[in-house]
């Protein structure tokens, strides 16, 4: 099995996790607009993770997590 065959599975797992986080944080189910936002973020996380793997993990995982955190907090262009 090559890595591209697991992309849809990985994105679906991310969407399920994000949906559960949404419910925990807001105490309500995911609305249609929230689902679009979740899909956008899940696709981005998937993309950066695949890019990291393609680059042979050229930065430590801790640094990758820091990059992702900065992106999610809107600090990437500061």
* Nearest residue to 22 (alpha-carbon basis) of 8, 11, 33: 33
Give dist(CA 28, CA 59) in Å, integer: 37
Angle subtended by helix axes 32-54 and 7-26, to nearest 10: 130
Domain ranges across the chain: 3-72
Give CA–CA dist 77/51, Å, rounded: 20
Cα separation, 48 vs 73, in Å, equals: 16
Query: Each residue's pLDDT tens digit in the chain (78 positions)?
Result: 566 677 788 888 988 998 888 899 889 888 888 888 888 988 898 889 888 888 888 999 999 999 999 998 888 877
């Amino acid at each position: 099995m090559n890595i591209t065959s697991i992309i849809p599975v990985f994105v679906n797992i991310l969407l399920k996790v994000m949906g559960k986080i949404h419910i925990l944080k807001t105490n309500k189910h995911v609305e249609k607009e929230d689902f679009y936002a979740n899909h956008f973020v899940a696709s981005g996380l998937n993309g950066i993770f695949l890019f990291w793997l393609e680059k042979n993990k050229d930065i430590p995982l801790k640094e990758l997590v820091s990059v992702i955190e900065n992106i999610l907090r809107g600090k990437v262009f500061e």
